[in-house]
Structure 1
Amino acid sequence: MGLFLMILAAVVVAFLLAYVIVKFVPLKMRWLVSLLLLAVTIFLGFKIYEGIMKPIKFAQEKQVRYAKVITNLKMIRDAEVKYNEVYGTFTKDKNALITFIENGKLAITQTNNVEKDVRVGSGISVKKSFRVVDTIGFEPVLKSFEGKDYKNMFKVPGTDKEFSLEIGKVEKIAGLEVPAFLAKIDKASILKGMDNSLVKQELEANTTDQIKGAFVTVGSLEEVTTGGNWPPSYDKGSAEKK
């Protein structure tokens, strides 16, 4: 809207100046007015260009900042999922999660189908197939985090803040609660120093190609999920180095 008003004002001013020049300015002085008009045109052209480019540059910069933040949130998510695989719960202890990455081990399992004779009565037996899961070894959790700066995964890139980390329970089905976790950071901290009006709009984002709401999050304390609230575009291309 601001850009539209600026263009409208420029058109009105140009029309009024043209009218004044034709009506009141002597012919011998019109060269000076032409120079002034040229200067005004350049200034207005610059302001219009700036108005067009500001949201474009904002969008580019926010994507770069978000991508770095999301990389860390994914590390936190991966660590929590593996922690839950071993202990059957999540943790809000950040140091414990880092220690788990460095020292924890994940079971390597193998699933086989085994046939057994099952008595069905009257001395009759039938063969039934059962799935048997065997542990055949262990793998260090650290192997999944090679080349990743997991020791600083709780630090929010580009800020002096850390992600908050909470755990809880979520009802999966009636009567069954499962562990849940939530890691998040407010967008305002990530976008600090950028255009205030555009930041305000970003905090109210609600379309499918945007990060909805005022926070960037992974996990949830309201539904069963370990996903983030960012759109798929942040999982593709150069958003994350793999």
Structure 2
Amino acid sequence: MVFYIIGAIILVGVIAYVAVNHIPKKLHWILSIILLATAGYLLFLINNSIMEPLRFNTEKQIRYTEVIKKLKVIRDAQVAHKTVTGDYTKSGEDLIKFIDTAEFAITQTRNVLVKQKRGLITVDIEKRVVDTIGHEPVRAMFAGKDYKNMLKIASNNNIKFIFSVDEIQKFGNLTEPVFEVKVDKKIVLTGLTDYLIRQELEAATGDEVRGEFISVGSLNEVSENGNWPPYYDKADKNLNKK
């Protein structure tokens, strides 16, 4: 875009020079029309260079919001899966089946006294006992959430959610399961201006989604957070207040 603007400015200068030094005055009206047309084109380029990034950011946020909404549902499903099974899954389809069929155990904790022999005497030891008193369908947690379509983006059928699971070592031989679900930003932004897409993919600082992917979770640490900035969560906070 910058090169087009510079080229148009140079062209205006060349036309003006030729008009003054080489063109008869009776033909100056033709050059005036050319200059006006060139100036109009130049104004169009300048306006477009200002508005194009604004249009890009508006469309980008619309697309990101749609993807992040799906990632939040996937995250909730992964957390529920770990609560019930003790681990995460690397299959989105299995997550949907899990929500439809699995149940949370409803537990109750109580303290009981247990008699324990210590040498020649018997003492009462207090122990904590956890009783399962019922079950609740996992899908009840997802009421109002379109979990059956959480792997689909209506505006772009080419978007695929990449699932990864692993374990990280914590203390001694103890390990903790971790997960990550991500989407390639380049695919999300398909059809927008190329140079602005490149800038977005290289974003490493600022109040934006950093890196090449929109993601939730991490394979390097125990985390259920997404890599998007807080303003993508404002709608959720407002909904919770209501």
TM-score, normalised with respect to structure 1? 0.80
Residue equivalent to 2:226: 228
Q: Residue 230 of structure 2 aligns to which amino acid in structure 1?
A: P
Distance 1:174 1:231 in 2: 35
Question: Which residue among 180, 183, 205 is the counterpart of 1:182?
Answer: 180
1:193-236, Cα deviation, whole Å (9 max, x unpaired): 22222212211111141111111111111111011111112112
Q: Is the 8 A contact 2:112 2:129 kept in 1?
A: no
Alignment of 1:1-242 (within 5 A): 2-3=1-2, 5-108=3-106, 137-157=134-154, 158-237=156-235
Distance 1:10 1:96 in 2: 57
For residue 192 of structure 2, give the secondary structure of its aligned residue in structure 1.
coil
Q: 1:235 to 1:229 in 2, by over 3 A?
A: same
Distance 2:55 2:237 in 1: 17
TM-score, normalised with respect to structure 2? 0.80
* TM superposition shift of 1:156: 4.2
* TM superposition shift of 1:102: 1.6
Q: 1:138 to 1:154 in 2, by over 3 A?
A: same
Higher relative contact order (CA 8 A, sep 6+): 1
Q: 1:19 to 1:56 in 2, by over 3 A?
A: same
Q: CA RMSD in A?
A: 3.4
1:166-209, Cα deviation, whole Å (9 max, x unpaired): 21102334543211111112112111222222212211111141
* TM superposition shift of 1:94: 2.6
Distance 2:71 2:237 in 1: 13
Structure 1, unmatched stretches of 5+, are 117-124
1:46-77, Cα deviation, whole Å (9 max, x unpaired): 12212222221111111111111111111110
Distance 1:73 1:132 in 2: 37
Distance 2:237 2:35 in 1: 46
Structure 2, unmatched stretches of 5+, are 114-122
Q: Is the 8 A contact 1:168 1:179 kept in 2?
A: yes
Q: Residue 34 of structure 1 aligns to which amino acid in structure 2?
A: S
Q: Is the 8 A contact 1:169 1:180 kept in 2?
A: yes
Distance 1:19 1:209 in 2: 47
The percentage of counterpart residues that share the same residue type is: 44
Q: 1:35 to 1:227 in 2, by over 3 A?
A: same
Distance 1:241 1:102 in 2: 25
Distance 1:100 1:88 in 2: 13
Q: Is the 8 A contact 1:234 1:240 kept in 2?
A: no
Q: Residue 211 of structure 2 aligns to which amino acid in structure 1?
A: G
For residue 89 of structure 2, give the secondary structure of its aligned residue in structure 1.
coil
Distance 1:8 1:93 in 2: 52
Q: 1:110 to 1:48 in 2, by over 3 A?
A: farther
Aligned residues: 235
